[in-house]
Amino acid sequence: MMRRALLLFFVAAAIVLAQGNPDWHTAFPGFKIAGNLYYVGTADLAVYLINTPRGNILINSDFEKDLPLIKKSIEQLGFKYSDTKIILISHAHGDHDAATGVIKKETGAKLMVMDADVPAEESTAPGRPGAHVDRVLHDGATVELGSSKLVAHLTPGHTKGCTTWTMQERDGAGNVFVRDVNGLMWELIQSAAR
């Protein structure tokens, strides 16, 4: 009994501490990374926008409370949030996907998720998006819109369906999306924003 209470305490503490990261919900200016690839996330949670002639692709959605910041970044870059056609995620954790259902509802975008993360994405448990997945992806699947083609790479660990996204940039330079932006990658993104 004591062991169970102690475990519950640590789980609850981890959730509270995670939600308390102020940078998760702090505005960060959207900026162009390269070609048609843009950063539109918060100060510590990555959301990427790929703009194509046929609409936008969003990778990650962050929490619902971050959606106004994401919309503002998209609009300030000269794009329309309502032009979102496809939503992808790096993995099924609330800090990266909690708002997918809201974005689907507001834009009519199609949600595409790696097979192992589909149950978590469609779950209606507290903190989960409860969003219907329109296309189930498998390792090596491609997602195309306009002139952009992304490849989904299954990189399990953080979740069973962690996905690393790659795409060939229009000028021929390759771009890689990582499932979590931190460390060196975060420093590179901050440098690019300056």
Give mean pLDDT, residues 17-22: 60
CA atoms within 13 A on the CB side of 9: 6
Handedness of CA 180, 12, 92, 86 (dihedral sign): negative
What count of other Cβ atoms lies within 10 Å of the Cβ of residue 164?
16
In a domain, 97, yes or no: yes
CA angle, 60 as apex, 194 and 46 as ends, to 5°?
25
In a domain, 92, yes or no: yes
In a domain, 7, yes or no: no
Stated pTM of the model: 0.80
Q: Residue 55 has what pLDDT?
A: 97
Phi-psi sector, 146: left (phi>0), alpha (psi -120 to 50), beta: left
| Structure confidence by residue, pLDDT tens digits, 87-108 | 999 888 878 888 999 999 999 9
41 phi/psi in degrees, rounded to 5: -85, -170
**Is 80 exceeded by the pLDDT of residue 142?**
yes
Q: How many structural domains are present in the chain?
A: 1
Calpha distance 111→131 (Å, rounded): 8
Q: Which residue range forms the structural domain that includes residue 56?
A: 26-193
In a domain, 81, yes or no: yes
In a domain, 77, yes or no: yes
Calpha distance 31→67 (Å, rounded): 17
CATH number at residue 43: 3.60.15.10
In a domain, 105, yes or no: yes
